[in-house]
Structure 1
Amino acid sequence: MLLERFLDPSTPSLKICGVTLAEDGQRLVDLGVEAMGVNFWPKSKRYHNPKTATWLKDLKGKILRVGVFVNPDINDAIEMVRAGIIDAVQLHGDESPLQASFLEDWAIPFFKAFGVNTAADLNRAEEYHASGVLLDAPAPGVYGGTGETFDWSVAADFVRHHPDLPVILAGGIVPENAVAALSQVRPTALDVASGAEISPGIKDFDKVEALLKAVRS
């Protein structure tokens, strides 16, 4: 139900990523944000240790809980879903379609992220059989979180040519450009980390509310 709501093509959704605090997670629930991301990549400045992420269990059924991983041991990601800590997996590294297929085998929803310079970067997007694809600014070795936008015309073309594949738009989205992002690209959802923060991992709820207003307008 939460996944279907998040990916409903009839109305755009919002995913706030890089959440590190239980109280921020609960506040996102209270505001009605559709999804939240928690980064389990140790090199991220928004890293959250999986061993201390048990508070996510309290949010089960209230918001789509997405675990963000970079080149993980897929079994670790699967175990976090089975333990009830997250609902879905976001693969934000150099994972192959074969690696992703193990999630598909377990019927675990997942999103595959792509850093986009040109349309060629998305040539293999359909091979992953993902629940949705996340289009982000390219960040070799950093794997997202740069706060930079990319050429949205590439994303818009991809959306037009793949109407049945949910697209989540990320990269440099802030309250001031959210409406433009939605109108130009027409993605299924916006994904925002730095554009909704006071500092890395600490959310700014004035910005979150402004983003919600843009999405719901």
Structure 2
Amino acid sequence: MHHFFHPSTTSLKVCGVTLESDAHQLVAEGITALGVNFWPKSKRYLPPVDAAKFLPALKEKILRVGVFVNAPTQEVLSLLKEDIIDVAQFHGDETPEYCAPFAENGHPFIRAIGVKNADSLTNIHDYQASAILLDAHAPGVYGGTGDTFDWNLARTFISKNPTLPVLLAGGITAENAAEATTLVHPAALDLASGSESTPGIKDFDKIRAIQAAISTAQ
């Protein structure tokens, strides 16, 4: 498994990349993972045909994560098999049954969970996910809202599941990244709105500040 998923240190994933230049800059800044959003209703949507123009060249330079919301299985598999992405992230209403073929065929995937309360975190292991992403509960929007949730729920979940890589998302900014790292100790912080000037356009001053905050907190 890629070192991004190692629970002992907190990495950084910058999600919602839409520009080739931003993707290359993330590599130059030493960011561990990037996410591209393949959900057509997202304000950070990147059509797969556009992603295919620049993501293959970034193989092994940065972990390439494709974000999907209730996508046809075949669409996800083709992007994995064509080596456009390394990891799928399921951010919709995908069931354990939906996820099963990916787990059975050795395709790494992240299952995102919108955390409303402690009950949101039951039966997580049914998904057989490579990693779990905990995000603010956002019905119908599926993340990227800039809202946070009660991080104590995440901290408790991680302490009960020490070997499961857990990513923390939802309103992470330079102001709270150090606290998130210290309190929760996630395998990674996941940024979307906290890393951009406008949706899909990255702000590298913000990203550098968050990187520095994570480093200081470890």
Whole-Å separation in 2 of the counterparts to 1:204 and 1:65: 19
Q: Which residue of structure 1 aligns with residue 176 of structure 2?
A: 177
Q: Which residue of structure 2 aligns with residue 5 of structure 1?
A: 3
The question of whether the paired residues in 1 share the 8 Å contact of 2:9 and 2:185 is answered with no
Q: Which residue of structure 1 aligns with residue 103 of structure 2?
A: 104
Please provide the CA RMSD for this pair. Answer: 0.8
Amino acid at match of 1:187: P
1:10 Cα deviation from its structure 2 partner: 2.4
Q: Deviation per CA, 1:90-124, whole angstroms, max 9, x where unpaired? A: 00000000110111122111000000011110102
Report how many aligned residue pairs link the two structures. Answer: 215
- 3-state SS of paired residue (2:2): helix
1:4 Cα deviation from its structure 2 partner: 2.1
Q: Which residue of structure 1 aligns with residue 27 of structure 2?
A: 29
- 3-state SS of paired residue (1:114): strand
- Is 1:17 matched up with 2:12? no
Whole-Å separation in 2 of the counterparts to 1:41 and 1:126: 25
Q: Which residue of structure 2 aligns with residue 64 of structure 1?
A: 63
TM, length-normalised to structure 2 = 0.97
Q: Which residue of structure 1 aligns with residue 152 of structure 2?
A: 153
Amino acid at match of 1:49: P
The question of whether the paired residues in 1 share the 8 Å contact of 2:7 and 2:163 is answered with no
Amino acid at match of 2:61: K
Whole-Å separation in 2 of the counterparts to 1:174 and 1:74: 33
Whole-Å separation in 2 of the counterparts to 1:22 and 1:103: 28
Specify every segment of 5 or more residues in structure 2 that has no aligned partner in the other structure, as ranges. Answer: none
Matches within 5 A, 1:40-189: 40-54=38-52, 55-189=54-188
The question of whether the paired residues in 1 share the 8 Å contact of 2:90 and 2:112 is answered with yes
Runs of 4 or more, structure 1, over 3 Å off, are: none
TM, length-normalised to structure 1 = 0.97
**Deviates most, 17-26 or 118-127:** 118-127
The question of whether the paired residues in 2 share the 8 Å contact of 1:33 and 1:63 is answered with yes
Amino acid at match of 2:3: R
Whole-Å separation in 2 of the counterparts to 1:98 and 1:18: 27
Amino acid at match of 2:42: S
Whole-Å separation in 2 of the counterparts to 1:9 and 1:88: 17
1:59 Cα deviation from its structure 2 partner: 0.4
1:126 Cα deviation from its structure 2 partner: 0.9
- Is 1:200 matched up with 2:199? yes
The question of whether the paired residues in 2 share the 8 Å contact of 1:109 and 1:130 is answered with yes
1:75 Cα deviation from its structure 2 partner: 1.4
Amino acid at match of 1:58: A
The question of whether the paired residues in 1 share the 8 Å contact of 2:7 and 2:162 is answered with no
The question of whether the paired residues in 2 share the 8 Å contact of 1:74 and 1:103 is answered with no
- 3-state SS of paired residue (1:53): helix
Specify every segment of 5 or more residues in structure 1 that has no aligned partner in the other structure, as ranges. Answer: none
1:144 Cα deviation from its structure 2 partner: 0.4
The question of whether the paired residues in 1 share the 8 Å contact of 2:7 and 2:164 is answered with no
Q: Deviation per CA, 1:121-168, whole angstroms, max 9, x where unpaired? A: 010211111111000000000000110000111111101111111110
